[in-house]
């Protein structure tokens, strides 16, 4: 028997590698003695960059950057010298995890630090940037990044805008003449795990603003700022930032960077699995275990467990899904993806308690999986 353990992170609790390790521990405790292959995955969300850097054997290079509120912090990026590829985790510089809850303020939090990481990578000689944009603290349309890369933003009087994104409602003109010329020969691949457009009811401000501390009035101001940015960019660059699927990812970073740079936006999990040659890791597998904090119908829109399940199903390998939360009612489409889908919580828990219990509950889930696999294997053997 061979089991491949390929989970995503459990948000706010355990990184993907920690989830895989807990499941492995439980499966071994069940008495399972077969082969186990731990292969934690990412779909563009926070933590994807560090995983990619590990799989690609990247060196970790330090860089001093601004956090979302402008304070200097130590960050880093992955560097693959052989291919001149930099792996950049936006959240390392502009992530929500860098702030205390009482500091969440998407009206003034910006992506300047991520832009500084990108410049550091260009200084290193990067010809390709792999940009993982999950976990941002920002809804700035990527203007912090673009400012660092040389764009200038002006109001109607010709004054330079100072604070992003809230000052964007006064945006009147953009000057791209000083955009870093190295970007013309640099490929930027953005890994996304959402399909939201920049503006509107399902856009960056409305959907992601409240997650980052925006109240009702703040969401309205952020929406107005992004709409104004969109209009001015169309006037000066000819691109409609709102036309881009996934453009609203990371508070509009995807749309903003794509408007001025050589960008390809990709489905994060599909790109990740191909990059690490996950198909080869599935060779000879009898079961695949995947999961993340929540598995529901939205998972089918391209989240990590769905990508893992689809690749396994192509090889007719049964897939077991585990999550902190699963639908209470049967979802036929999820059933088609997962042979077995269950919550690691034996009973409903307050979210804070469920997060605290994630590791031990994953170990228990691993024991349950190990026993079930051995039971099924024994049943098949006895029927032969």
Residue 384 has pLDDT above 70, yes or no: no
CA distance 302 to 310: 10
Tens of pLDDT, residue by residue over 138-194, are 999 999 999 999 999 999 999 999 999 999 999 999 999 999 999 999 999 999 989
pLDDT of residue 378: 85
Residue 238 has pLDDT above 80, yes or no: no
Mean pLDDT computed over every residue of the chain: 95
CA distance 319 to 278: 15
Return the number of other C-beta atoms located less than 10 Å from residue 317's C-beta: 19
Q: Contact 115/141 with Cβ under 8 angstroms?
A: no
**HSE value, Cβ hemisphere, 13 Å, CA-based, for 98:** 29
Q: Is the pTM of this model over 0.85?
A: yes
Return the number of other C-beta atoms located less than 10 Å from residue 169's C-beta: 17
Q: Name the percent of the chain lying above pLDDT 90.
A: 90
As annotated, the residues of the chain forming the CATH 3.40.50.10350 domain(s) are 2-38+288-383
Residue 19: which of 246, 378, 359, 317 has the closest Cα? Answer: 359
The hierarchical CATH code for the domain 48-269 is 3.90.1510.10
Beta bridge partners of 136: 95
pLDDT of residue 191: 97
Tens of pLDDT, residue by residue over 223-233, are 999 999 999 99
The domain 2-38+288-383 is placed in CATH, from the list 3.90.1260.10, 3.40.190.10, 3.40.50.11540, 3.40.50.10350, at 3.40.50.10350
As annotated, the residues of the chain forming the CATH 3.90.1510.10 domain(s) are 48-269
Which 8-state DSSP code applies to residue 193? S
Rounded mean pLDDT, 364-371: 97
Rounded mean pLDDT, 267-278: 96
Tens of pLDDT, residue by residue over 308-355, are 999 999 999 999 999 999 998 888 999 999 999 999 998 878 888 888
pLDDT of residue 382: 76
């Amino acid at each position: 028997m061979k089991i491949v353990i390929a989970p995503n992170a459990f948000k706010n609790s355990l990184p993907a590698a920690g989830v895989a390790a807990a499941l492995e521990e439980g499966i071994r405790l069940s008495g399972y003695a077969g082969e186990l292959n731990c292969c934690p995955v990412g779909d563009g969300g926070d933590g994807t960059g560090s995983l990619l850097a590990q799989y690609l054997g990247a060196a970790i290079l330090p860089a001093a950057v601004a956090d979302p509120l402008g304070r200097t912090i130590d960050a880093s990026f992955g560097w693959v010298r052989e291919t001149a590829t930099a792996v950049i985790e936006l959240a390392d510089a502009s992530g929500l995890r860098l702030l205390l809850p009482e500091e969440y303020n998407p009206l003034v939090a910006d992506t300047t630090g991520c832009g500084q990481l990108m410049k550091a990578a260009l200084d290193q000689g990067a010809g390709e940037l792999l940009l993982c944009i999950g976990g941002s603290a920002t809804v700035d349309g990527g203007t912090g990044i673009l400012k660092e890369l040389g764009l200038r933003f002006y109001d109607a009087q010709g004054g330079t805008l100072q604070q992003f994104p809230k000052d964007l409602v006064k945006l009147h003109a953009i000057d791209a003449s000083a955009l870093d010329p190295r970007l013309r020969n640099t490929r930027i691949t953005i890994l996304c795990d959402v399909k939201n457009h920049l503006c509107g009811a399902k856009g960056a401000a409305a959907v992601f603003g409240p997650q980052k501390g925006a109240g009702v009035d703040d969401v309205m101001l952020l929406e107005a700022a992004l709409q104004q940015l969109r209009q001015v960019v169309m006037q000066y660059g000819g691109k409609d930032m709102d036309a881009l699927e996934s453009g609203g990812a990371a508070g509009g970073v995807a749309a903003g960077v794509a408007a001025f740079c050589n960008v390809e936006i990709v489905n994060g999990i599909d790109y990740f699995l191909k990059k690490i040659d996950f198909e080869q890791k599935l060779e000879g597998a009898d079961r695949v275990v995947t999961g993340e904090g929540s598995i529901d119908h939205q998972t089918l829109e391209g989240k990590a467990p769905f990508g893992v399940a689809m690749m396994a199903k192509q090889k007719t390998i049964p897939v077991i899904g585990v999550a902190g939360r699963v639908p209470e009612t049967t979802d036929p489409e999820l059933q088609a993806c997962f042979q077995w889908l269950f919550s690691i919580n034996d009973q409903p828990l307050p979210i804070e308690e469920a997060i605290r219990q994630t590791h031990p509950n994953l170990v228990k889930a691993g024991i349950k999986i190990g026993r079930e696999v051995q039971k099924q294997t024994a049943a098949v053997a006895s029927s032969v």
